[in-house]
Amino acid sequence: MSKLATLLLAASLSVGCVSSPEHIELTEPPVSAPVPEPTGQAEICVVRPGIVGWIANMGVWVNDWKVGDIRSNDYILHAVAPGHVEVEVTAEADCMASFPVEANRRYYIRAVPKMGWWTARVQLEILEPEEGEEFRQKCEDQTYDEPRPLEP
């Protein structure tokens, strides 16, 4: 009986760790808000409001550049050139969103932790500007001063 229990436990743990990245791809720009100070660039704001999974640290990557790490009640605000953008939030299972962006517009993405076996997984949601800004106001800025390139 103990061999069967060990086998079942090992099988359940291995299934729990298997996951594939979620990818949200939009062909049209999502709803956005004007930036406070026009610079000719778009702004990506990734927010993580709330206390769920508060200890789990998630990396935020924009176009293969690491722009910061977020925990509960943190946000990242990063400027990008107009065009196509890829935003990836990394945890036990990564999640990516890709979409076109326009100059002088701010786009809000919410990173929602989902508990895995050992660490958090993440789900991304595109937010309405009003809701995104409300979350940003309640969170702390964790944007890196200098983005870091994707490591080989």
Mean pLDDT of 125-136: 93
Mean pLDDT of 125-144: 90
Q: How far apart are CA 151 and CA 131, in angstroms?
A: 33
CB atoms within 10 A of CB 47: 26
Query: What confidence tier does 102 reach under pLDDT thresholds 50, 70, 90?
Result: very high
For residues 104 and 15, which has the higher predicted lDDT (pLDDT)? 104
Query: What confidence tier does 132 reach under pLDDT thresholds 50, 70, 90?
Result: very high
* Average pLDDT of the residues of the chain: 79
Predicted TM-score (pTM) of the model is: 0.78
Enter the CATH code of domain 21-149.
2.60.40
CB atoms within 10 A of CB 69: 15
Query: What confidence tier does 76 reach under pLDDT thresholds 50, 70, 90?
Result: very high
pLDDT tens readout for residues 23-73: 778 888 888 888 888 899 999 999 998 776 666 788 999 999 899 898 889
Q: How far apart are CA 57 and CA 103, in angstroms?
A: 30
pLDDT at 118: 66
CB 129 within 8 A of CB 32: yes
- Does position 8 have pLDDT exceeding 60, yes or no? no
